[in-house]
Amino acid sequence: MINRRLIRIKVFKLLFSRIHADARALTGAGEELLRSFDKTMELYFLLLALPIALKNYGLAKIKTGLQKFHPKPHEINPNLKFVQNRAIAALEADKAVWKPGSKKSLHWPDHPTFLRKLYTDFQSHPRFVAYMESGQVSFEEDSSLLAALYETELEDNEALLEMLEDQNLYWADELAYVLGVILKTLGEAKEDLAWNHPPMFKQEDDKSYALRLLERSLLHYDEYLELLGRFAHNWDSDRMATTDICLIVLGITEVLHFPSIPVKVSINEAVELSKYYSTPNSKVFVNGVLDKIVQHLKEEGRIVKEGRGLIEC
């Protein structure tokens, strides 16, 4: 589930926070990084539980309508298709999915205003309307409706983003990525089969890669900062954005300590992150400085790669 790009983002954010707080010791750093991976998985299962909360809200609304002294025609004969959605029922039966009543950091039923607005907004969506009016009954159609929920209602939902930020500083940034993972899970879901949830990491060595990247970046930070200063002409380290410094340090660390990762990949990843987490001009600065440093390290024979072509940049 968690790919190398997301690992680099997490290591970068943790490195930045530690440098900003002048806390460069390794003590607790690895544990903090691993907790951030656990929180990403928590967000995945938390979002998977959201349709269950919406179904329960819809069911309560139907029951309220039936109990009215003068119910309207649609309340007397409610459309039960959504509350009987097979994909939601499969989520409820899945022990891995955290149910609305479970004791987790965010409890959907504790946010009735959010659920009511999300339910109302989704009800008016053309795909929801077509689903409710369709005469078909199939697991594929039911899971397709959930895909519509994740595709259209959540990524730019300000109320949801605010709730996520209140729970975890990184969740709002990871929302789009986790939604993409959920859509892939939904696309592979089959009726009467257990949900095929992704493992925490996409590759077996990703955990060790993450811990080593953080550890080496912290241990060699001052050394690589001095190296950066030698090639950042006309720039004093005090004037550089800390984000740029951390990204360049990460790039140098990956180039020197990970023989199987191509140099070009390490540079490109640092540049890509600079587009999202630093200043408008950072991508040019990060790319230019890293390129000069890499050329210098190559000339000194310090870059060792395991495969052909991996040292090229």
> What are the helix and strand counts (H, E) for the chain?
15, 0
Residue 80 CA to residue 84 CA, distance in Å, equals 6
Mean of per-residue pLDDT scores for the chain:
90
* Contact present, 1 and 198 (Cβ < 8 Å): yes
Residue 146 CA to residue 125 CA, distance in Å, equals 12
Give the pLDDT score at 222: 94
User: Predicted confidence band at 75 (pLDDT cuts at 50, 70, 90)?
Assistant: low
User: Predicted confidence band at 21 (pLDDT cuts at 50, 70, 90)?
Assistant: confident
- For tokens 């950042």, what's the residue? 232
Give the pLDDT score at 23: 83
Residue 11 scores a pLDDT above 70:
yes
Give the pLDDT score at 120: 96
Domain chopping of the chain, boundaries: 37-188, 220-313
- For 85-104, the pLDDT digits (tens) are 999 999 999 988 865 555 56
Q: Using alpha carbons only, give the angle 201, 51, 47 rounded to the nearest 5 degrees.
A: 30
Give the pLDDT score at 308: 57
- For 246-265, the pLDDT digits (tens) are 999 999 999 999 999 999 99
* Contact present, 74 and 50 (Cβ < 8 Å): no
Residues 6+ apart with CB under 8 A from 207: 34, 37, 200, 201
Confidence (pTM): 0.89
Mean pLDDT of 153-169: 94
Give the pLDDT score at 136: 87
* Contact present, 89 and 82 (Cβ < 8 Å): no
Give the pLDDT score at 288: 92
CATH of segment(s) 220-313? 1.10.940.10
- For 25-68, the pLDDT digits (tens) are 889 999 999 999 999 999 999 999 999 999 999 999 988 877 88
Note the Cα 107 to chain centre separation in Å: 19
Local structure of 73: helix, strand or coil: helix
- For 178-188, the pLDDT digits (tens) are 999 999 999 99
> In whole angstroms, how far apart are CA 121 and each of 26, 42, 117, 118, 240?
47, 25, 6, 5, 45
Residue 276 CA to residue 244 CA, distance in Å, equals 11
Give the pLDDT score at 100: 52
The lowest-confidence range among 8-12, 124-128, 132-136, 290-294 is: 132-136
- For tokens 């707080």, what's the residue? 21
- For 192-249, the pLDDT digits (tens) are 777 889 999 999 999 999 999 999 999 999 999 999 988 887 665 555 789 999 999 9
Residue 237 CA to residue 221 CA, distance in Å, equals 13
